[in-house]
Structure formats: structure tokens, C-alpha cells
Amino acid sequence: MLFGLPAVGRRWPGGLRSALAFGVPAIAAWMLGFHTEALLVVSGSFAVIYGEGRPYRSRWWVVLTAGGALVASVWLGATAGQMSLDLGSTGVARMIPVTLLSLLALVSVYVIAALRLGPPGAFFFVLVCAVSSYIPGAGISAAHGAVCAAIGVASALVVSMSGVLWDPRGPEREAVGAAVGAIEKYTSSPTASAADRHAAAARLHAAWAAVYDAGAARLSSRPVLVQKLFDAHRAFAATTTARADPDRAVDSVSDQLPLARPSVGYRLRRSLHRDSHAMSTAVRVFCAAAAAGGISVALDLSRPDWAILGAVLVLQQGPDRVHGTYRGLQRLGGTLAGVALFSAIFLSPLTGLAVIVVLMVLQFAIEVSVARNYGLAVTFITPLALLMGTLTHPGSVLEDIVVDRIVETTVGVAFAFAALWLLLPGAFRRTLLWSDGRVLTLGAHLLTVLRTEDVAAPTALAVRRDVQFELVGSALAGAEAAHNDRGWTHRVWSQHVEVDRLGYELLAHCWTMTDVGRMDDIERWQRRLDAVVTEFDASTLG
């Protein structure tokens, strides 16, 4: 169970790109005599992972953005490491990298959670920052490390974009195919559940984001792929409307494409609330990382950054208590397997180019497994990080490395468990209520707009898009609450379902209006919304 692999589609092409993004410049650097720089390139090559699955029209920007953050992480880590060296081996000096890593984890986890970017998350930014905090000890400056990382980013960009030469529409085609499949499952089943509807809506939301990122939805003529997604969206809306009101005939649907996902600014601002999932996740990560690192320093353990990485990897995606506990066990199991793999590599006669090839294999394995099983991914991340660590600690004893890695990872996971179960214990309840409240607030705003605007007017489309975004967040919050406290969730579930149903049916109703039509039954929808709001407010106050 710790190392199972759920199917998430083909991963080996991404794994190959990840291996080549590091291997090509690393081998070239080694052949030219830059042996130290060859290993440092891996810090920037992680950027290729962040571009996987994205349309090529936007992928280059995502890889460059992630790459810029990785380069900055390297520079910051090395700068903090140099400051620590300058102050000597004191507790205060060792807390400088700990503080930096905790703050970096706070910011990066918040941004990725608020934007709903998913795996691989913030972990690699914290990882390269942690490793780089030790390179000054090997006589490598922050600028030198950042330049090596930038070379890795450049390689990642070229390799990541290579697929555009033979399949330029592949990523968006896969996204549309996944959405169409999920919608067909929902529309063809007479007993489809709310979970089926949410899965279809989430896939639909992701597919529209993909076709907009690809530029296909902005063309003057409508491409076949966009029309295919549009037809599926209309079928989803018609089915949702028909199941809500079987007596209402759906004669026509809007021919107006929906808007792209909300802007980056909107997503970041909306999550700046104490009850948002992104905020509670970031707070937990920061507290667990700072505590794990601080305790490691206080106990004079050799690598407090490993404790921080242990906490971050468990908490970064904001799991509920059940999945978070399972992920912590995966982290421990993966670390044990990883140090065993590292030991085999460390004791082998491999040197030079052979080590680079081993790192390429590890890069491949990380990309293939990171979105499927954290335990398996950690099995490969651990030896990769340890091999990078040998650059700054060339005389390290294997037994010390293994023991320190296991002890400090255990410290990190322990603090992650403490944060998960004891810190902000009621956050999941507040997040669900906050998410449902946002659906109702934006639903009320949509009805206000529709009193004076057509359903396809720009303002109405923008609010409809935001309602859809909040509905996805509400469903995620509901799932988290169900795993954390079934008793409480059971008491509020009927209210949550009503909010969910109202939101989806209102959006579906808008889709079944003609392009130039006005809603002629706004008062009916207003009464229904008022009734749900009244029940919601009573439950919240109670």
C-alpha cells in the first residue's frame, strides 16, 4: 500500500524529459572539466517537472517562472549558508537557514495552494534551497550556484518544449479527452452521484483552462477540439438542469464560450483569509518546519534542513488528517528505502559520468512517481538529495549519513503529525463554511447582475466563472471535512449539498438560456437562494 501506483496516465515521457533536462548539460559540463558544476545543474532542471501536462503556448512561461523561483531559492539558500558560516557554529547562526527555509515554505505553499497548481508543489523549491545552504562550505558562492541552476533551467526549457515539434496540441487534447470522458460518465448514468458531477465539473474546469492557455478558445473560428469540449459542456449543463427540474424542457443552450479560469491575482487575493484552505495549509507548514528545524538545532543534530523537508513534504498539499497521516508513513517508508538505495550507490565503485547517469535515472523515477505515490517518489528523492549533499560533505561517513537522515526525517514527520492533528484543529470546519459562504455570496451577486444583464454579457460571464471556481473549492473542502470529522460533517452535509446543488443548477440554468435572453424567473431563483442562505446562516450561528 505504501508504494502502490494509481493510474494517472502516461508518465514516462515526462520522466524522460526530466532526466534529459539534467543529463544533457551535466554531461557536457563534466566533459568540459566542470565537475562540481555538473551536479549543481540539477537544482534548476527541476523546472521541467512544473511544465508537465501544460499546453506548449503557456508551458514555456510556467517553466521559466518555476525556474526563476528555483534559481532564487539556490541564491537565497547559499546566501543564508554563507551568513551562517560567517557567524560560526552557534545556535543563532544555524537558525538563519532554518528561518529562511520556513519562510520559503510558507510563501511557496501558500501561492501554490491558492492557485490550485497541485503536484509537485512547493517541495522542490525548499529542497534546492536547503541543499544550497551548504554549498558555501565547499567554497561555492551563491552567484556561482545560481548560474549553475540557471543552466539547468535553460536545459529544462528546451527539453520541456521539445514535444511541440511532433504533437503541438497533445496537452490540451488530453485535457479535453479527460473532461469529455468524465461528463459522459455523469450524463449516461441515471444514478450519477454528486461526486460524479463534481468530477465532471473539475475536469471541465481544467479542460477550459487548458484550451485557453493553448490559445485555441481565442481564435476567430472555433477549432474542432474547442467545439468538442463546448458540446460536452452543453451536455453537462442540460443534464444538470433536467435532473433538477424534469418538467422543464431544455430547448436551447447558449453558444457563448465560458471564460478562462480566474486570474492569478484573484486567486491569490481570495485566499488571503484565515479560513481559506491555502492559508491554514501555509500556517501549518511554517509552524511545523520552524519547530522541526529549531528542535534539530537545539538537539545539535547535523542537518536540520532534513527535518524541515520531512515536515514540508507531508503537509505541502494541505491533506486531511487521514491522508496526511498516510503520507507521513509514506515519507518514513520512502526515506528508509531511499537511504538503502543511497547506501548501495555510495558503496558502489561508480564515479564521474556514471554518477550523473544514476542521477538521471533518479530524475526519471521522481517524475514518473511524484504525482502517483509520495512514498515511492521519496525513495528516489532521498538518494538524489544525499548524492547532492556529498558535494558539500565529501568526507562524510555512510553510517552517519544514514542515521542522521532517518532521525531528522522522523523529527520532521513527527512535527507534521502534530501540526496536522493539533494545530488549527477546527480549520476544516471553518474552511467548509467559508467556501460554501463564498458560493452563496457570488450566487447572490450573479442574480443581481442578471437583473440588468444578459446571461452572456461579459460581467455575467465573469461572475459565472467565479461561481464555478468556488464550487470546486467547496467540493474539496467538503471532502476534507468528511475525512477529518465524519460526525460534524454529517450534521452539516445536507446544508452543504443544498449549496452545491443550488450553485451548479444556477450555472446550468444560465447555460440553457439563449445568447440574448434575460432570465425570466429570477425571483424564483432569488427565493431559493434566500432560503438556502437562511438555513446556512442559522446553521453557522448555531
Helix-strand-coil split of the chain, %, nearest 5: 75, 0, 25
185-196 core/surface letters (b: 16 or more CB in 10 A; e: else):
ebbeeeebeeeb
Q: Are residues 126 and 180 in the same domain?
A: no
Is pLDDT of 461 > 60? yes
CA distance 179 to 235: 12
Task: Show the domain range for 341.
Answer: 11-165+273-422
Residue range 286-312: average pLDDT? 96
What single letter denotes the amino acid at residue 270? R
Q: What is the pLDDT of residue 413?
A: 96
Q: What is the pLDDT of residue 257?
A: 82
The answer to whether the CB of 239 falls within 8 A of the CB of 187 is yes
- Which residue, 227, 244, 261, sits at the end of a domain? 244
Q: Is residue 70 a part of any domain in this protein?
A: yes
Is pLDDT of 226 > 80? yes
Q: Is residue 2 a part of any domain in this protein?
A: no
Q: Are residues 472 and 413 in the same domain?
A: no
Q: How many domains does the chain have?
A: 3
Is pLDDT of 66 > 80? yes
Render pLDDT for 150-188 as a digit per residue (tens, 0 to 9): 999 999 999 999 999 999 999 999 999 999 999 999 999
Q: Are residues 344 and 451 in the same domain?
A: no
Is pLDDT of 250 > 80? no
- Between residues 14 and 2, the one the model is more confident about: 14
- Which residue, 371, 404, 422, sits at the end of a domain? 422
pLDDT confidence tier of residue 480, bands split at 50, 70 and 90? very high
What does pLDDT average to over the chain?
A: 89
Q: Is residue 264 a part of any domain in this protein?
A: no
pLDDT confidence tier of residue 500, bands split at 50, 70 and 90? very high
Q: Could you give the percent of the chain with pLDDT greater than 70?
A: 93
Q: Are residues 113 and 179 in the same domain?
A: no
Render pLDDT for 252-288 as a digit per residue (tens, 0 to 9): 556 678 888 899 999 999 999 999 999 999 999 999 9
Render pLDDT for 418-439 as a digit per residue (tens, 0 to 9): 999 999 999 999 999 999 999 9
pLDDT confidence tier of residue 308, bands split at 50, 70 and 90? very high
Burial (CB < 10 A; 0-12, 13-18, 19+), residue 541, is exposed
Q: Is residue 256 a part of any domain in this protein?
A: no
Q: Are residues 129 and 220 in the same domain?
A: no
Q: Is residue 492 a part of any domain in this protein?
A: yes
Q: Could you give the percent of the chain with pLDDT greater than 90?
A: 68
Q: Is residue 158 a part of any domain in this protein?
A: yes
pLDDT confidence tier of residue 6, bands split at 50, 70 and 90? very low
Q: Are residues 80 and 181 in the same domain?
A: no
Q: Are residues 15 and 159 in the same domain?
A: yes
Q: What is the pLDDT of residue 391?
A: 66
Q: Is the pTM of this model over 0.85?
A: yes
Q: In which residue are the cell numbers 547506501 written?
A: 343
Q: Is residue 249 a part of any domain in this protein?
A: no
Write the CB contacts of 423 (distance below 8 Å, at least 6 apart in sequence): 283, 284, 287, 288
Is pLDDT of 192 > 60? yes
Q: Of how many residues is the chain composed?
A: 542
Q: Are residues 178 and 160 in the same domain?
A: no
Q: Are residues 285 and 370 in the same domain?
A: yes
- Which residue, 244, 263, 293, sits at the end of a domain? 244
Q: Are residues 283 and 392 in the same domain?
A: yes
Q: Are residues 181 and 157 in the same domain?
A: no
Q: What is the pLDDT of residue 395?
A: 65
Q: Are residues 133 and 278 in the same domain?
A: yes
Q: Is residue 6 a part of any domain in this protein?
A: no
Listed range (48-62, 135-149, 503-517) with the worst mean pLDDT: 503-517
- Between residues 521 and 9, the one the model is more confident about: 521
Is pLDDT of 4 > 70? no
Please give the C-alpha separations between residue 19 and each of 16, 27, 90, 132, 386, in angstroms, as whole numbers. Answer: 5, 12, 39, 21, 18
